[in-house]
Amino acid sequence: MSKLRKGDTVIVIAGKDKGKQGTVQAVKNDRIKVEGINIVTKHKKPNQATGVEGGILKQEAFLHISNVAILNAQTQKADRITYQFGEDGKKQRVYRSSGEVVATA
């Protein structure tokens, strides 16, 4: 299970977009898609049967989950996540540095 979820704000810690921040759009296995990060150019072939127009598109591509870290809103720095059980007995995500509960989007 990934510690990052859709809607989390993350910061890129490695690669061509290092230092940029964005919101998680999708998580698949060990890959993650972040809004505005890892933009690639895709050449789309037109298809008259389905009504798809061709052209050159720019879109976000998946990047490895190890290249991003969750952004701690209080410190504005990259952080790690651990799990703890709350008073109600439910499992919750917690920042390792401060021990505060991660706000779910």
As a whole number of angstroms, the distance between CA 27 and CA 5 comes to 7
Instruction: Examine the pLDDT at 33 and tell me if it is beyond 90.
Output: yes
| pLDDT at position 1 | 61
| pLDDT at position 38 | 96
Instruction: Examine the pLDDT at 40 and tell me if it is beyond 60.
Output: yes
**Residue range 18-39: mean pLDDT, rounded:** 96
How far from 44 is each of 20, 32, 99, CA to CA, in Å? Answer: 27, 23, 46
Closest CA to 26 of 10, 6, 2: 6
For the chain, list the domains and their CATH numbers. 8-76 (2.30.30.30)
Could you give the 3-state DSSP secondary structure of residue 65?
Answer: helix
Residue 103 pLDDT level (bands cut at 50, 70, 90): confident
